[in-house]
Amino acid sequence: MRPDTHLLVASQTRRRVLTSLLALTLLLASLPAAAQPQGTLRGIVVTEAGSPIAGATVRAGDNGPAVMTDASGLFNLKVPAKTYDVIVSKKGFATERVPGVAVPAGKTADISALLKPGK
């Protein structure tokens, strides 16, 4: 066997090991999120007059998952079970924060948000 053959085999083996470690790391990193129990955040967004607001953004926490309300002002959002400050916003209205909304695992937390005209 030529001397440079050992270097080639070692290089290929190292590459396989690093590729396997990267794949394993990515798999393990995705497990905690997938294993987290889920709940549902559900509700309605309305104006001061009680009219539904379509197209409002409802976000679970400052950087959490978000959804837009439908034509009836309703929303339904699956989230990891925990307590959130829910942020509701729509252009032309002041942003509303609904603090301390607990979303239990396997259950639904219902809220309603009232948006007032504003920025």
| pLDDT tens-digit map of 77-100 | 999 999 999 999 999 999 999 999
Higher pLDDT, 80 or 20: 80
Do 67 and 108 lie in one domain? The reply is yes
End-to-end Cα, the chain, rounded Å: 76
Do 46 and 20 lie in one domain? The reply is no
User: Phi/psi at 50 (nearest 5 deg)?
Assistant: 90, 5
Q: Could you tell me the pTM of the whole model? A: 0.71
Do 91 and 41 lie in one domain? The reply is yes
Looking at residue 110, its pLDDT comes to 97
H or E element at residue 32 = helix 3-35
Q: Is 73 a residue whose pLDDT tops 90? A: yes
The residue type of 101 is: V
Q: What domain range is 86 assigned to?
A: 37-114
Do 16 and 72 lie in one domain? The reply is no
Indicate whether 119 belongs to any domain.
no
Do 43 and 31 lie in one domain? The reply is no
Q: Is 8 a residue whose pLDDT tops 70? A: no
Q: Is 24 a residue whose pLDDT tops 60? A: no
Do 13 and 56 lie in one domain? The reply is no
The residue type of 86 is: V
Q: What is the mean pLDDT of residues 51-74?
A: 97
Indicate whether 64 belongs to any domain.
yes
Do 28 and 53 lie in one domain? The reply is no
Maximum CA extent, the chain: 86
Q: Distance (Å, rounded) from C-alpha 88 to C-alpha 97?
A: 6
Indicate whether 26 belongs to any domain.
yes
Indicate whether 73 belongs to any domain.
yes
